[in-house]
Each structure stands twice: as structure tokens, then as C-alpha cells.
Amino acid sequence: PKGSGNQSSMGDGYVTSGKADGYYYVDLDLPSGTKWATCNVGSNLVAGPGYFFAWGETATKKEFTRDTYTFNYQGLGKLPISNDAARANWGGKWRMPTWDECNELINNCTWKYEAAGYTVTSNINGKSIFLPVTGCYQPNGLEYPSDGQYWTSDHSYAGAYMLCEKNRPAHISVDNDFYGRAVRPVFTK
């Protein structure tokens, strides 16, 4: 079943700002106006990793290998909305964040690693979201379980996913598109 992201209060000081198309979000007052969901696609829990997707695929699966990868991204710098896992699973105006929106989150927030993930607190208004550790699914199964790995909708030399590592701040990386990574939806008004 689809995750509902239905918490209006996330506990431990996390408070939502509102609800859009049936899912709660937090307004971190970022310059772009981007609102970040309280949960990952496929989870009802703030700390739940949710579903894993290969880049450009909208359904989760059991194996993440080159042979099971169905999306042909050749020459695409930006993911078409029809191949956006957030839009396909949550609908409405929800979508995967862009590379710039992830960088905005990295540059305008304080990141604190905790046992189950990262508290990301706005340096502008003090509100927070929680990004759980997710790892990523590779051909041999779940790898890097203490990292948070989240897809962006951009694919270029600059990056395809936001990587939150225990020992350093979040940054953008490029890696195999057929790996399974989590999706944290966003929207702008």
C-alpha cells in the first residue's frame, strides 16, 4: 500500500506546516519556496525508509540490477514528470526534488546525524524535517545502511542523488541509475 505521510505532529519537536494532496509537509522557509514532505514515498513513518526506486522508474521492485533496469535515460538531463516516482505514487503537485533544491536544503540548513537518520533544521525559521538512513539497493542487496540516499530529478555531471553520510555533511553524487534509492517528495506553490 502507498504510504500516507499522515502525521500532523511528528514528535520530538517536529511540527508540520500543512497538507497538500493528502500528504503533510514542512515549510523550511527556503528561498525557492520548496516544501519538503514529512515522509519518504512508501512510508507512513518519519523514520521509515519507504520504497526504493531506480532512477526514472515509478514502481519499486525486488532486484536492482542492470538487467532489471527499464528506463532509458540517454541524453536526459532532467527526468520527465511521467517518470517521477513521487508524482506517480503521491500525485497532485508532489515531485522529486531538483539538484538545486537539494543543494538549497544542504546550504540553508543545519544537519545533525542521529542513530536513525538526519535532523535537518532550517537556519531561516528553525523548523525541521527528518531524513532517515536508507542505504541503497545494489545487485548484492542493501549497501551503506548508515547513509541516506535520495534521488533528485536531475541527471548530469553535477549529480543524480543527495547523499547524507554519517561523517560529513550532505552532498550531491552521481552513481549507477539502476541502484534502488529512496524518494523524498517536494512541491512548490
Q: pLDDT band for 146, please (50, 70, 90 cuts).
A: confident
Q: Which three cell numbers stand for residue 98?
A: 531538483
Separation of alpha carbons 47 and 53, rounded Å: 18
Q: pLDDT band for 5, please (50, 70, 90 cuts).
A: very low
pTM exceeding the 0.95 threshold for the entire prediction: no
Asked whether residue 8 carries a pLDDT value surpassing 70, the answer given is no
- By the 10 Å C-beta count (0-12 exposed, 13-18 middle, 19+ buried), 150 is classed as buried
Is residue 75 within 8 A of residue 34, CB to CB? The reply is: no
Collapse the DSSP code of 66 into the 3-class scheme (helix H, G, I; strand E, B; otherwise coil) and give the result.
helix
Separation of alpha carbons 85 and 94, rounded Å: 9
Asked whether residue 3 carries a pLDDT value surpassing 70, the answer given is no
Q: pLDDT band for 169, please (50, 70, 90 cuts).
A: low
CA nearest 121: which of 36, 20, 40, 184? 36
- Give pLDDT, residue 159: 65
pLDDT in tens, 95-142: 999 989 999 999 999 999 887 899 999 999 999 999 999 999 999 999
Please give the angle made by the CA atoms of 4, 59 and 6, to the nearest 5 degrees: 5
